[in-house]
Amino acid sequence: MRTIRLLLEKEFRQIFRNKALLPMIFVMPLIQLVVLPLAADYEVKNISISVVDHDHSTYSHKLISSITSSGYFKLIGYTNSYPEAIHLVELDKADLVLEVPSGFEKNLVRENEQKLFIAVNAINGVKASLGGAYLNKIIANFNADIRLQLIQPSRNNATPVIEVVSSNWFNPFMNYKFFIVPGILAILVTMVGGYMCALNIVKEKEIGTIEQINVTPIKKIHFILGKLIPFWIIGIFVFTVGLVVVSRLIYGIVPMGNIVLLYSFLSIYLVALLGFGLLVSTYSETQQQAISVAFFFVMIFILMSGLFTSIDSMPGWAKIIAQLNPVTYFIEVMRMIVLKGSSFKDIKWHFVIVTIFAFVLNGWAILNYKKTT
């Protein structure tokens, strides 16, 4: 116990003296948590549209004004020919081209039917698919309005219509921030814990202090605990600040579920994560190597954790990677407890899996951390 206390004292002293590390640990995660959710917005706005109007009728004008007034589209071109419009796409000024044929209004009234042409720039996939979908929706609404005007309601009573109205559970206003902030907080805790832990041990190797430590009666397990405990505490601290200061005060996210449950999951998760850091450090000789290896894994952890993209829509092999990723479980639990108010029963398998991660990663790291070569 005395040895561990001594090691902790030494570790904290070094951390608090490190002028570069301290802001890294405490300030950066907060700034990121404030800034990232604002940028990581799923809603696509400011889609540039170029309209080719061959009709110049009241209806075509109505259609265009309903598109621009939706708030999603920006009319950047109103041209007379398709090549002119597509040139704007080539210049990357327009994302969508809507072509209104000549006689649009006339044929619509007379023959009850008319076709519109939409061309989408698919280089930015998300913008293209969402933009196309929004536009279709607007045109469909426009169509419904016209039907109401043209067809006498009394005569249309017999037509059955199925209308789908959805209600968003756990996030009724579909505020994406509720969804993304807990996820980003999980990632930040992962980054701070994983990097710091790996770098710290490798630093002792690089400077040679581990050599001096190894020729002392310090036990392997004491040395490792002396490294893990400080970063475990820092992880809990960063998480608490993120949860209370940023999520609650700035975004107004109040966890629905049990806070104790959330923290007990975090405690186990941090042990698993620090085990990962320890493992990286046992395979690296220099801090440069450690940061490269850790970066590689953290990158995969982030992109394949279901933070930005749904795991369910990944191909089979990617799902397996996501399931082997501890961050996946933490983000799921974060969202389940914070948004849904899940209880222990709902996340007991997450507990089991993360506990297994903790044992495997730490066990592997300890086996690999040899005092003698």
Token pair for residue 9?
């004292």
Q: Which contiguous run of DSSP H or E holds residue 302?
A: helix 287-303
DSSP H helices, 151-286, are: 176-207, 209-214, 220-241, 259-283
CB of 198 to another protein, least distance (A): 19
Instruction: Give the one residue of 71, 83, 160, 217 binding another protein; rule: CB under 8 A.
Output: 217
Q: Are the beta carbons of 192 and 238 closer than 8 angstroms?
A: yes
Give the whole-angstrom CA distance, residue 228 versus residue 193: 9
* Interface with another protein, residue 24, by CB under 8 A: no
CB of 18 to another protein, least distance (A): 7
State whether residue 82 is helix, strand or coil.
helix
Closest CA to 194 of 280, 302, 263, 264: 280
* Per-position x/- string for 289-328, each x denoting binding to another protein as judged by CB under 8 A, each - no binding: ----------------------------------------
Instruction: Give the one residue of 71, 83, 160, 208 binding another protein; rule: CB under 8 A.
Output: 208
* Interface with another protein, residue 18, by CB under 8 A: yes
According to DSSP, the β-strands at 47-53 and 73-79 are parallel
CB of 225 to another protein, least distance (A): 14
53 forms beta bridges with: 100
Closer CB to another protein, residue 217 or residue 315?
217
Closer CB to another protein, residue 3 or residue 32?
3
* Interface with another protein, residue 2, by CB under 8 A: yes
Closer CB to another protein, residue 8 or residue 36?
8
CB of 211 to another protein, least distance (A): 5
Closer CB to another protein, residue 20 or residue 126?
20
Asked whether the CA dihedral 351, 368, 239, 295 is positive or negative, the reply is negative
Token pair for residue 238?
């960063």
* Per-position x/- string for 152-191, each x denoting binding to another protein as judged by CB under 8 A, each - no binding: ----------------------------------------
Q: Which residues are CB-contacts of 320 (< 8 A; sequence separation ≥ 6)? A: none
Could you list the residues that contact another protein (CB under 8 A)?
A: 2-3, 6, 10, 13-14, 17-18, 207-209, 211-218, 372-373
